[in-house]
Structure 1
Amino acid sequence: MQREPRQREVTVVTGGGQGIGRAIIERLLDEDRAVVVVELRDEALAWLDAPIGESRAWVIVGDAGDDAVAARAVTAAESLGVLTGWVNNAAVFRDAWLHEAGGAAVAELIRLNLQPCLAGAAAAVAAFRAQGIAGSIVNLSSHQAQRAVRGALPYATAKAAIEGLTRALAVDYGPWGVRVNALALGSVATERLRALEDAGAAAYARVEQSMRDLHPLGRAGEAGEVADAVAFLLSERASFISGAVIPVDGARSAQGPDPEAIASA
């Protein structure tokens, strides 16, 4: 009897225009997965033209926090193969001081970072259930969920909520075979960090020194290193890992300040 050809696995990645999102997409394409990218604008996605032409990728333009956009991503994924993974990478980096912005404005900034994870998880779980498969969701968090940076209250609060959401989803949908994990990132050398070079050589040297001081491994991370961790969690190699928040931060979250070292500096 002739065996039916195996359908390609498909992963939805939100916020894939550049940096970490792009690295994740490229890594998944290298593993022969198909990818649906959800992005607010598509002008930075021309590099996907080739895989789109090969029916290995598709782009959904819209807000990743919109349930209707997430539903469109599911439909696109099912046209490419079998949806088995969802990566909630989209984020908003907008700082605010609570006493200046007020509660409602800060709550909205928190929502902008949390809502894409809620919409994505809802769409992914429903699709996995309908297909009768055990899928995997990976949420991108930050070291700030546990150790906040001054002035970044909305971002730190949203990431802490995302880590709580990760555990709750793993518990609620584990009986369906759905695995949900989060990666808590340290500083990663993306376009956003490298843009600080425009401040001048001396200023950027201070930034590089700060990265060395903050991360015991002595440097910021690379987007490809994050992509490797995401690919692992999506794969069968991580089949018994769920509800975990895994630091990918060069030990930044493990390090505490040393008053004696500061005093002797």
Structure 2
Amino acid sequence: MADSFVVTGGGRGIGRAVVERLLADGGHVVAVELDAAALAWTRSHPAGTRVRVVTGDAGDEAVAERAADLAQEAGTLTGWVNNAAVFRDASLHTAPAKEVMDLIAVNLGAPLAGCATAVRRFLAAGTGGAIVNVTSHQARQAVPGCTPYVTAKAAIEGLTRALAVEYGPRGVRVNAVAPGSVRTERYDEFLDQQGPEGAAHIEAEMARLHPLGRVAQAEEVAAAIVHLLSDEASFINGATVPVDGGRSVLAHDPEAYEPPS
């Protein structure tokens, strides 16, 4: 049977890029997305019935189970990508602790539900499989004002390591990718809101933050995710792979200087 995959947050940005890459490689893909409008492109996709959709909250285990059912109808479920995320934040000095905890739960709950469903299906089928969780450079480089998001992404990296050691002996690999800034629909909308001068300033700052001089394309992050799902990554387990152009290893320092050409 053909390989099949589930990708949460599969309607836009990194998620869509992963779906497109897996389809191009001949796989069957179930895209999970909260916003039905974000999945409109799947209706006329050249892959036809190889791409299927589930509309709903990726943090709802019933939604995850439905996605797993569709994936297993199409082929052998071999990979699961937990990409869905919500970008809402709060600060402890202005928001009740419960509100902050609820925001953390939104971003931790979706990959937790996805991992739980994927692990159970892999073990029941006896086939093993691979899970990739999408975290962020913010898991290790905190951004002011983003406490819930930073905390959730750090927890997802801990979850990745815990599941890798618990289920690795049973043929289930669990890894994560940690993108830096990525040119997605959300990123472009953010730039548009700043006006021409503001957008130019942000783009210059992004070039300064990323040693490669630019933000990532969604397809570049997708390539790393698909590699981790593949047999070529068969001995990679429990890793968090930065896909950030070197952002996480760059230190801005007043003693820095430009080396001679």
TM-score range, shorter chain: over 0.9
Q: How far 1:52 moved relative to its partner? A: 8.7
Contact 1:90/1:116 (8 A) holds in 2: yes
List runs of 5+ in structure 2 lacking aligned partners.
none
Q: How far 1:261 moved relative to its partner? A: 4.9
For residue 134 of structure 2, what is the aligned residue in structure 1?
140
Q: Which amino acid aligns with 1:236?
A: D
Q: How far 1:98 moved relative to its partner? A: 1.1
TM-score relative to the length of structure 1 = 0.94
Contact 1:133/1:177 (8 A) holds in 2: yes
Q: Which moved more, 1:118-127 or 1:253-262?
A: 253-262
Output one character per residue of 1:59-106: Cα deviation in whole Å (capped at 9) or x when no partner.
111110011111111111111111110000000111211111121000
Q: How far 1:50 moved relative to its partner? A: 3.6
The CA RMSD measured in Å over matched residues stands at 1.3
Q: Which amino acid aligns with 1:91?
A: A
Report the identity percentage.
Answer: 58
Alpha-carbon separation, structure 2, partners of 1:20 and 1:240: 24
Q: How far 1:54 moved relative to its partner? A: 3.0
For residue 167 of structure 1, what is the aligned residue in structure 2?
161
Q: How far 1:247 moved relative to its partner? A: 0.3
Q: Which amino acid aligns with 1:216?
A: P
2:18 is the alignment partner of 1:24: yes
2:84 is the alignment partner of 1:90: yes
Alpha-carbon separation, structure 2, partners of 1:77 and 1:211: 38
Alpha-carbon separation, structure 1, partners of 2:72 and 2:45: 16
For residue 81 of structure 1, what is the aligned residue in structure 2?
75
For residue 252 of structure 2, what is the aligned residue in structure 1?
257
Q: How far 1:53 moved relative to its partner? A: 7.5
Q: How far 1:51 moved relative to its partner? A: 4.7
Tell me, what secondary structure is at the counterpart of 2:216?
coil
For residue 232 of structure 1, what is the aligned residue in structure 2?
227
Q: How far 1:177 moved relative to its partner? A: 0.6
TM-score relative to the length of structure 2 = 0.95
2:56 is the alignment partner of 1:62: yes
Alpha-carbon separation, structure 1, partners of 2:47 and 2:15: 20
For residue 99 of structure 2, what is the aligned residue in structure 1?
105
For residue 220 of structure 1, what is the aligned residue in structure 2?
215
Q: How far 1:197 moved relative to its partner? A: 2.3
Contact 1:55/1:80 (8 A) holds in 2: no
Alpha-carbon separation, structure 1, partners of 2:53 and 2:35: 10
List runs of 5+ in structure 1 lacking aligned partners.
1-6
Q: Which amino acid aligns with 1:150?
A: P
Aligned CA distance change for structure 1 residues 261 and 53 (closer, same or farther; 3 Å): closer
Q: 1:127 aligns with which of 121, 132, 135?
A: 121
Alpha-carbon separation, structure 1, partners of 2:255 and 2:29: 50
Q: Which amino acid aligns with 2:108?
A: L
Q: Which amino acid aligns with 1:125?
A: V
Q: How far 1:156 moved relative to its partner? A: 0.4
Alpha-carbon separation, structure 1, partners of 2:185 and 2:55: 21
Q: Which amino acid aligns with 1:39?
A: E
Contact 2:23/2:47 (8 A) holds in 1: no
Q: How far 1:42 moved relative to its partner? A: 1.4
Q: Which amino acid aligns with 1:9?
A: D
2:242 is the alignment partner of 1:247: yes
2:110 is the alignment partner of 1:116: yes
Alpha-carbon separation, structure 2, partners of 1:71 and 1:52: 26
Alpha-carbon separation, structure 2, partners of 1:94 and 1:164: 21
